[in-house]
Chain A
C-alpha cells in the first residue's frame, strides 16, 4: 500500500515557492516520529529555519522552526540532511548554514521543542553534508550515538577532499568530531572530489561510504571519475578507519565499483530545468551487512543515466548493472527487514514532445530481475518556472524501518489527481476539480510551485470487505405489512459492508471527502452489492457511510457502508407458503469481495436486531438486582429461590406494559455499564442476582407467529466459535409430538468438554433426578400476535443468569461417557465453576418451529441470533 501526502500545512496554503531538495529522517525506535527537510524559510522570517515534523507516522505534519539560520532567510538553509539516532531519541542534522555556508552539525533531544538545535560542530569550507546516525545497542558503548557526516572538505590536503566527519559519542554534551579522509588516489586535474559523499551504517558496526573520486575536470566541465566504495568494520573506531576495502586492481584503499565514469558538471538547467553533476546512493541489507546496493549516475550515449549495482561480499566484488534508468536522477536506496530493496528516482520522460518529471518507487526481492514499479507522481517538467537551482533537488530521501519504506520527493504541486496515479492527499487548500491551489481563505488562487511530498510504502496491507447482516430473513407477511405503511417496505439498515485497508483517497471520484455524502457520491464510493440472480421487486441501495477516523485523515481506516433493501411489492415471495428462498448477496470493491446470504420466507418471521456491533446486540440486555431490590415492578428477591419467580414477573410486567418506570430500552447497552457480578455478593456485601432480557420483533399483516421460543446460552467469549452448530454448541432437545423444546448443554465435537450452558427463566431441574430434556421454561415460549395495521410488535423473553450461584450445581465437570444431559451421578459443579476464568458472552437464539437456522450462521449474519459480551465487576 502506498500513501502520498503533500505535507504543506493548511495554514501555509498561501505560499507559492520552490521547496526543493527534500530529505527524511524516521526514528527507528519509534516510527511515529518522522522529520523532513526542504529549502523553506521560517514563514515569519525568523532566525531559525523549519523542518517538517510528524508524530503520527506521517499522517499529519507541522513546521517547527528549530534549525539555526539567519533572520529573513528566504529558504532557511543551504544543504541540509537529517537523522534520528534511534534509541537515544536524539535528532541530528547536518547543514550548510545561511549565510556563512559553514558546516553546522546540529542536535536536539526533542524535535517538537521550540529550542534551537544545539551546534555540535561548526567549520567552514565544506560542501554537501550528508548525515547518518545510530545509537549503539550493545557492548561497552551501548547507548552512545555514532554520527557520520559525508562531506566535501575543500581544506583537505592534495585535493583528496572526500571526507567523513565522525563522532563516536555524539550524544555527549560536547562531542568531538574527527575528519576521516576517504580518497587515497590522486584527483588529477580536478583537484578535488565530487560533492556527493554518502555514508551508511549497519547495526553490526559496518559502515560503508560511496563517493565520486574525481580524476579529471576538463575545460568544458566534463568530469571523469571512479565510483569508490569504502568500508569500516567497527564504526570507524580503528586507527585507520574506512580502509577495509582495497581495490584488487591497484591495491589502493577504496574499491572502484565503477571506473572512468563521466558526466558534465552543469550548474545550470540541463534536464527538466534541473542541473546535473553526479548522483550517488548506497544501502546495506539490515539482515546481512555483506549485501550492499549502490546507485550512481553518469552519461551514457548522451543521456544522464542511473546505474544500480550490488555486492554480496562486503563491497569486494560488484555486479554489473542490475538496472539502468535513462534521464533519471536523485536515486535513493533502502532495504527493509525482509530484504526487499526499495529504489526511488526521478526521471524526465518525453511524450509527444512534452517533458514530464516522473517520480518512481520500485520494489524488488530478486535484485531487479523483476520489480514492481509504482509511479508516485508524473508532473510537468517545464512548470512552474525554476526560481533557482536545484529545481527539485540534488537529492531526495528514503529510509526503510522494519518492513515499511518512508520517502520524500519534491514536485510540481498542481492538485491534479491524474498526476498522482497512486493517490495523493493535500492538507493545503486545493480544488481537485478545478486543479487549483487556494490560499488560506479558500478562495484566492495560488500559483503552482514545488512542494515536498511524503510517501509511505507499507508491506502487505490487504484490502478486504465483509458483511454485517442486520436482517438475514424477510417474511412475505412482514413485507405485506410494511407495504401498508406510508414508509413502504424499506428495511434500513438491512446490512452493512465493511471495507478494511482503504484510505479515503482510494475511493473513486476524488475519494471519500465527507461522511455526509450525496446519494451520487455514495453510489460512487460504496462497494457494489448485487444479488445472485434476479429478485423481483427488490432493490439494494447504499444509504450511509462512516469511518473509524471521522477526520478522514490520509491513513488506512475502516469504512462501514450502510445499505437498505427495498421491496416495491411482494413478488419476490412467489413460492409456496411454508417454504423459503435463499438469495446470495455479492459485495465487491476494487480487489476485495465478500458474500452473505439472506432468506426470503413465506411464513411468519420473528427476528432480533444486532446493530453494527454484533457482540453487543441492542435486543439482548443484562441487568442485576440486589437482595430486596424491585425492578420492572417485580418484588425484590429474598433468597436465590425467588430468582425464577422474579424474572417471570418481570416478563409478565413488560409484556403487559406494567413495568413501571423501568423499560427495556433504559437498560445500558455498553458492556462495562451493564457489568454483572461473578460472586454472589456485591462490593457492599449484598446478595446480587444477574438476569438477561431479549426483545424479539415481529411484523405481520394477517398471521401470528405461534410458539416463538428464545434460548439463552452462555458461551466462552473468543475461545470458541459462535457459529450455529446444532450438534455441538447449540444442542437442544425437541420432541415435536409433545411440543417440548429446550436448550441443552453444548459440548465439544469429541463430547469431552461442556462448552456452552443454557439459562432459563424457570428453576433448573435437578439433573440428578431428571434428564435436562425435561427442563421447563414456559416463560420463554410465546405467541406473537400480529398488529392488524401492520406495525411492528415485540415480545420479551428472559432468564436468570445463575452464574454467580456456587450452590446451583448443574452438571459434572466433564461430560460422562453416556447421558451427557443427565440423569447425572457423581459430583456436580456449579455454572460458576464451569465458567470461572473464561470471559463469557450470552447468545439468545430464536427457536421457531417454522424456521431452521442455517448451520454456520452467527450473530453477525443471522437475525435469529443475538450476542452480548459480558463484563463483570472486579
Chain B
C-alpha cells in the first residue's frame, strides 16, 4: 500500500469510493469473474461516492480486484477507490487505490469526494480565455464543409450579447457580442454538446479561438469560440457559483 495517497486524484478518477470489510480473498461474487489471489469479496460498509442508484449496495458483498502492489487482509476494513469492471447479478470493481479505513483517511476521502464536481469546472475555467454571462440574440446557419456523415455536427453560430465578464478582457467585437459556434446535431456524438437558441441566457466558459477536441479550425469572425463541452455552459443562475470558482483559482 502506498505511503502517500493522493485522495484528490483518486476520488476524481474513481467512480466509486467506499469503506468495506474484506470477507474473503481469492473469491468472487460472480461466476464470470476470473479469480486470482488478488480477487476479494468485500462487504460494503459505507459508500462515499457512487451513483445514487447504487446506494443499496451497503451491506452487500461485491467483488474487488486489487492491482499490483495493493494488499488487503481478510477481516480488515479499508477505503476502496474503484473503477467499474463488471455489473451483473453482482458487481465487480477494480481498485485504483486502497487505504486502511482510519478516521483520518476517511476524513480525507470524504473531503476529496465532496470537492470533485467543482474540479471539472475549475479545469475548464483554467483553460478559458474568457468567461461571460449574457443572452443569445441570434442563431445562424453555418454551411457544411466536411463530409456527409451521421456524426456531422451541423454547426450553427449563436451570437451572444455579454452583460458580465467574469474572467478575461472585454470582448472587443465592438458591441459586447461574441460568436459561439455549437453543434446543433442530435447525433450521439453531440448528445451532451450545449445547444443554444435565441433569448437563451447563461454563462459561457470560452476557450481560445481554436476549436477544442481536435476539430479543425473553422473560419469565421475573430473571437468565434466553439463550445461542445457541457461544462462550458451553465444556466444564468449559476453565475455566482462560477464566479466563486474563478475566485478560488485566484481570479485567473
Contact = CB atoms under 8 A, between A and B. Distances in A.
A841 interface: no
Given A78-B189, A127-B150, A440-B56, A9 B89 contact: yes
A101 B148 contact: no
B185 interface: yes
Given A152-B149, A389-B188, A63 B54 contact: no
Interface string A14-53: 1100001100000000000000000100111111001001
A275 interface: yes
B150 A43 contact: no
A275 B57 CA distance: 39
B192 interface: yes
Interface size bracket, B side: 35 or more
A130 interface: no
A46 B87 CA distance: 13
Contacts of B85: 64-65, 114
B167 to A, nearest CB: 24
> Nearest 10 CB-CB pairs, A to B?
A44-B15, A14-B53, A62-B88, A44-B84, A388-B191, A46-B83, A63-B87, A154-B147, A440-B56, A9-B88
Interface string B40-58: 0000000000111111110
Contacts of A253: none
Nearest to B16: A44
Contact of A14 (B32, B54, B187, B191): B54
Nearest to A223: B148
* Residue with the highest number of chain B CB atoms closer than 10 Å, among A53, A267, A269: A267
Interface in B134-192: 146-152, 154, 185-192
A439 B53 contact: yes
Interface string B210-226: 00011000000000000
Nearest to A444: B53
B209 interface: no
A55 B32 contact: yes
Contact of A441 (B56, B92, B93, B189): B56
Nearest to B32: A62
B13 A389 contact: no
A487 interface: no
Nearest to B120: A72
A60 interface: yes
Interface of A: 9-15, 20-21, 39, 42-47, 50, 53, 55, 60-65, 71, 74-75, 78, 96, 98-101, 110, 112-114, 127-128, 152, 154, 161, 190-192, 195, 217, 265, 267-269, 275, 277, 386-390, 394, 427, 439-441
B149 A127 contact: yes
A681 to B, nearest CB: 45
A11 B91 contact: yes
A440 B214 CA distance: 39
Interface in B185-204: 185-192
A386 B214 CA distance: 28
B246 interface: no
A74 B192 contact: yes
Nearest to A440: B56
Nearest to B84: A44
Given A11-B54, A43-B84, A99 B213 contact: yes
A441 B52 CA distance: 11
B90 interface: yes
Contacts of A20: 188
B93 to A, nearest CB: 8
Nearest to B146: A154
* Residue with the highest number of chain B CB atoms closer than 10 Å, among A46, A50, A441: A46
Given A46-B83, A75-B188, A389-B186, A277 B151 contact: no
Contacts of A78: 151, 188-189
Nearest to B188: A388
B148 A63 contact: no
A43 B87 contact: yes
Interface of B: 13-16, 30-34, 50-57, 65, 82-94, 146-152, 154, 185-192, 213-214
30 contacts: A11-B57, A11-B87, A12-B87, A15-B53, A43-B84, A44-B16, A44-B82, A44-B84, A44-B93, A45-B84, A46-B84, A50-B87, A60-B89, A62-B30, A62-B88, A62-B89, A63-B86, A64-B32, A75-B191, A78-B188, A78-B189, A112-B33, A127-B150, A277-B150, A386-B186, A389-B150, A389-B186, A390-B150, A439-B53, A440-B57
Nearest to A127: B149
Contacts of A154: 146-147, 149
* Residue with the highest number of chain B CB atoms closer than 10 Å, among A62, A265, A275: A62
Contact of B154 (A13, A47, A71, A267): A267
B88 A42 contact: no
B191 A9 contact: no
A69 to B, nearest CB: 12
B74 to A, nearest CB: 22
A177 B55 CA distance: 46
B187 A44 contact: no
B150 to A, nearest CB: 6
* Residue with the highest number of chain A CB atoms closer than 10 Å, among B91, B93, B186, B190: B186
A267 B51 CA distance: 33
Contacts of B15: 42-46
A71 B13 contact: yes
Contacts of B148: 190, 192, 217, 265
Given A12-B53, A74-B191, A389-B186, A101 B151 contact: yes
A440 B53 contact: yes
Contacts of A265: 148
* Residue with the highest number of chain A CB atoms closer than 10 Å, among B50, B88, B90, B154: B88
Contacts of A441: 56
B236 to A, nearest CB: 24
A387 B150 contact: no
Contact of B187 (A74, A161, A388): A388
B87 A9 contact: yes
Contacts of B146: 154
A112 B53 contact: no
A128 to B, nearest CB: 8
Contacts of A128: 150
Given A42-B83, A46-B84, A439-B53, 15 more contacts: A11-B57, A11-B87, A12-B87, A14-B53, A21-B188, A44-B83, A62-B32, A63-B88, A78-B151, A99-B213, A217-B148, A267-B185, A389-B188, A390-B150, A440-B54
B34 A113 contact: yes
A779 to B, nearest CB: 54
B154 to A, nearest CB: 7
B89 A275 contact: no
A394 B57 CA distance: 36
* Residue with the highest number of chain B CB atoms closer than 10 Å, among A12, A55, A386: A12
Contacts of A387: 191
